[in-house]
Structure 1
Amino acid sequence: MRRISYFIFPTDKKTWKAVHTKISVSFENNFYQISKYSEKPSKSQAQQRRQMENYEFSQLAKELPLARAISGQHIDKTTMVRLATAYIKLYNIFGQSRRAYSSADYYYGSDSHWTNNHLDLLDGFFVILDRRGDVLYISETISIYLGLSQVEMTGNPMVEYIHEQDINCFNSALNYCDRYWPQMCNVRVKSSLTKRANKDAVRASPGYKVLRLEITMGPNPNTRMIACYPMPTPVLSTVTISSNSFVIITSIDLRVTYADEKAHQLLRNTYFPDSNIKGLSFYNLIDVGDSEVISKMHFDIFNLGAYKTPYYRMILNQTSSTFYVESNIFRHTCISSKQFNDSITFVSSIL
């Protein structure tokens, strides 16, 4: 015969309250005992898990291709994962596209024996971006020119460091470049090395430095390789003038206010010995086919403060002959109690 057990609830409030209190205390005591016994295994498991995690990250840090001075510093885990992801992408792109190089590759500049020494000799720094514009690689010399860290920038979008007004120009050059048709643009990039502006000087964008970017397609169509060249400081006493260069200073409407002797020899009208280019518009000195180059410069110089032009033609001695130049251009604005000076300086190199 099967026995059936019944649980009979108390009917009166006093008995029910006593039973409820007893059950609650018993439950709390049992829970405390269970927690007490399970606390030690839980702590030891968590500690063991953290030790294993730290060990894996320490091994990962050794595998990252970083300089000893950087890898010896403390790098947080998020940064380490970001760097590892960027280097894996870089290996998948370049590690799988290796091929035998011929003598023709060396002729066209595709040297397979590039090392860090070559990057150190570059008068600027080198960047590789993926198809989304994230930095896969950036040379260590970034710290010399901008004061930024290689570790900080790797894996992050490049546009985060470009001035918001120059992002469209940068994206346009990035999208329209080709392996045999590189694009060039002048943009402002964040820098921690920009000095405080002189109280009498007006700076275009404090906290930014103007860079000349030469963008070309990498060995993989989804990558972009960028050579970044900082513009020289816009102080004439610190700009080196080579033997094949000349200087022209204009007002903000590009009317010539000063030209050195070499500029006069190349640009004045030889049919009139006493002629002078001072007072002429700069547009009168260039080939009409390249006026768009100077027009774009004239617009951008007010935002950037410094600019480097592509090659353009200037008219030789007001004749039908022309010669090619490349110009570093600076805008200098000085406000004082006595005067206001706003000028544009052309330092042009003859090709």
Structure 2
Amino acid sequence: MESSPYRDKQKPSKSQAQQRRQMENFEFSQLAKELPLARAISGQHIDKTTMVRLATAYIKLYNIFGQGRRAYSSADYYYGSDSHWTSNHLDLLDGFFVILDRRGDVLYISETISIYLGLSQVEMTGNPMVDYIHEQDINCFNSALNYCDRYWPQMCNVRVKSSLTKRANKDAVRASPGYKVLRLEITMGPNPNTRMIACYPMPTPVLSTVTISSNSFVIITSIDLRITFADEKAHQLLRNLYFQDSNIKGMSYYSLVDVTDSEVISKMHFDIFNLGAYKTPYYRMISNQTANTFYVESNIFRHTSVSSKQFNDSITFVSSIL
């Protein structure tokens, strides 16, 4: 009887299959050691699909940063683009750091993402950044990505998913449950197809927890930006020197801002109702004592309190003089 041609293709024995699995597991364990992850993370069980996704992102990252580096300017350093890409530099950030490819996929995100948002470095690497941004803020985020270049960084405030908001202070304003507001400072990477993002979480909008430095002042307004309170330093800077009884209370906040920078406040005024917290770029305020202007940067919070008798909605500016 002639043997069937199919009999020559015998199935591997149980021991051979087990040996192949062991070899495959060994290769994946070696791959895990090469991933840009903390050893405490890479040493844990990571499924093979996730491993391939992380490895692909790492290869892209190496192709961009593992070869020659361009010379960086002092402006690049200010925006978190130091040429020495070491973990020590990333640890200095009061936030976390992200590198995106041309499609907006995460090539790298620092481990501190878990501290600020409760998200996983493993989960986000290799996935689109927009998957974690509030749908109403995606256009703002994409616009900042597209318009930034090597000499003109972009900044935007967006809501990013967070698993920590449920544990947040119950008095904190939460315009969007499940999200935290971040300030993103975006610069171009070593080539036009990469974006480097320094992410800074906004302080909790509870004034008792916000540090007021010696070069800062506080102004509180109604929702139409009519001033209802200003601390002594704000009065000293902004009231009219020639009228000792003058008071900025009751004035519009817009009237204290240089007209060429009013768009900064206008954008904030629109966004604060969705975000609940906001950080401005630099803008100029007018000193009524000298008619000169000075630059400030403001952390802004919307606070809503509801009682049985009334509903109060206010906006607080904590501004630092530059």
TM-score w.r.t. structure 1 length?
0.84
Shift of 1:55: 2.1
Q: Is the contact between residue 209 and residue 230 of structure 1 (CA under 8 Å) also seen in structure 2?
A: yes
Q: Is the contact between residue 265 and residue 317 of structure 1 (CA under 8 Å) also seen in structure 2?
A: no
Shift of 1:211: 0.3
Shift of 1:107: 10
Shift of 1:339: 2.7
CA shift digits 1:152-210 (9 cap, x unpaired):
11111000000000000000000110111000000000011113677777621011000
- 2:284 partner SS: strand
Structure 2 residue 136 is matched with structure 1 residue 147: no
Q: Is the contact between residue 219 and residue 316 of structure 2 (CA under 8 Å) also seen in structure 1?
A: yes
Q: Is the contact between residue 255 and residue 282 of structure 1 (CA under 8 Å) also seen in structure 2?
A: yes
Shift of 1:269: 1.0
Distance 1:108 1:150 in 2: 22
CA shift digits 1:2-57 (9 cap, x unpaired):
xxxxxxxxxxxxxxxxxxxxxxxxxxxxxxx9999998745444433323322221
- 1:188 partner SS: strand
Q: Is the contact between residue 173 and residue 276 of structure 2 (CA under 8 Å) also seen in structure 1?
A: no
Which of the pair has more CA radius of gyration? 1
Which residue of structure 2 aligns with residue 36 of structure 1? 5
Distance 1:272 1:76 in 2: 71
- 1:226 partner SS: strand
Distance 1:103 1:171 in 2: 26
Distance 2:302 2:267 in 1: 14
Distance 1:154 1:289 in 2: 40
Which residue of structure 1 aligns with residue 266 of structure 2? 295
Distance 1:120 1:190 in 2: 22
Which range moved further: 224-233 or 94-103? Answer: 94-103
Shift of 1:336: 2.4
Q: Is the contact between residue 227 and residue 250 of structure 2 (CA under 8 Å) also seen in structure 1?
A: yes
Which range moved further: 334-343 or 291-300? Answer: 334-343
Q: Specify whether residues 57 and 127 from structure 1 end up closer, same or farther in structure 2 by C-alpha distance, changes over 3 A only.
A: same
Shift of 1:338: 3.3
Shift of 1:61: 1.3
Distance 1:310 1:214 in 2: 10
Shift of 1:103: 11
Q: Is the contact between residue 186 and residue 197 of structure 2 (CA under 8 Å) also seen in structure 1?
A: yes
Distance 1:156 1:125 in 2: 17
Aligned-pair identity in percent equals 93
Q: Is the contact between residue 202 and residue 334 of structure 1 (CA under 8 Å) also seen in structure 2?
A: no
Q: Which runs of 5+ in 2 are unaligned?
A: none
Shift of 1:289: 1.0
- 1:174 partner SS: helix
Distance 1:173 1:111 in 2: 21
Which range moved further: 42-51 or 122-131? Answer: 42-51
Which range moved further: 333-342 or 262-271? Answer: 333-342
Q: Is the contact between residue 200 and residue 336 of structure 1 (CA under 8 Å) also seen in structure 2?
A: no
Q: Specify whether residues 298 and 73 from structure 1 end up closer, same or farther in structure 2 by C-alpha distance, changes over 3 A only.
A: same
Q: Is the contact between residue 200 and residue 335 of structure 1 (CA under 8 Å) also seen in structure 2?
A: no
Q: Specify whether residues 99 and 313 from structure 1 end up closer, same or farther in structure 2 by C-alpha distance, changes over 3 A only.
A: closer
Distance 1:41 1:234 in 2: 64
Q: Specify whether residues 197 and 67 from structure 1 end up closer, same or farther in structure 2 by C-alpha distance, changes over 3 A only.
A: closer
Which residue of structure 2 aligns with residue 243 of structure 1? 214
Q: Is the contact between residue 80 and residue 198 of structure 2 (CA under 8 Å) also seen in structure 1?
A: no
Q: Specify whether residues 316 and 142 from structure 1 end up closer, same or farther in structure 2 by C-alpha distance, changes over 3 A only.
A: same
CA RMSD of aligned residues (A): 3.0
Shift of 1:86: 0.3
Which range moved further: 35-44 or 284-293? Answer: 35-44
Distance 2:172 2:72 in 1: 52
Q: Specify whether residues 108 and 65 from structure 1 end up closer, same or farther in structure 2 by C-alpha distance, changes over 3 A only.
A: closer
Distance 1:104 1:302 in 2: 32
Q: Specify whether residues 204 and 277 from structure 1 end up closer, same or farther in structure 2 by C-alpha distance, changes over 3 A only.
A: same
Q: Is the contact between residue 250 and residue 257 of structure 1 (CA under 8 Å) also seen in structure 2?
A: yes
CA shift digits 1:236-268 (9 cap, x unpaired):
111000111000000000000000000001111
- 2:45 partner SS: coil
Aligned length, in residue pairs = 319
Q: Is the contact between residue 71 and residue 83 of structure 2 (CA under 8 Å) also seen in structure 1?
A: no
Distance 2:74 2:260 in 1: 37
Q: Specify whether residues 158 and 110 from structure 1 end up closer, same or farther in structure 2 by C-alpha distance, changes over 3 A only.
A: closer
- 2:28 partner SS: helix
Distance 2:156 2:184 in 1: 5
Which range moved further: 42-51 or 246-255? Answer: 42-51
CA shift digits 1:63-104 (9 cap, x unpaired):
223212112211111111011000000001112233688999
Which residue of structure 2 aligns with residue 6 of structure 1? none
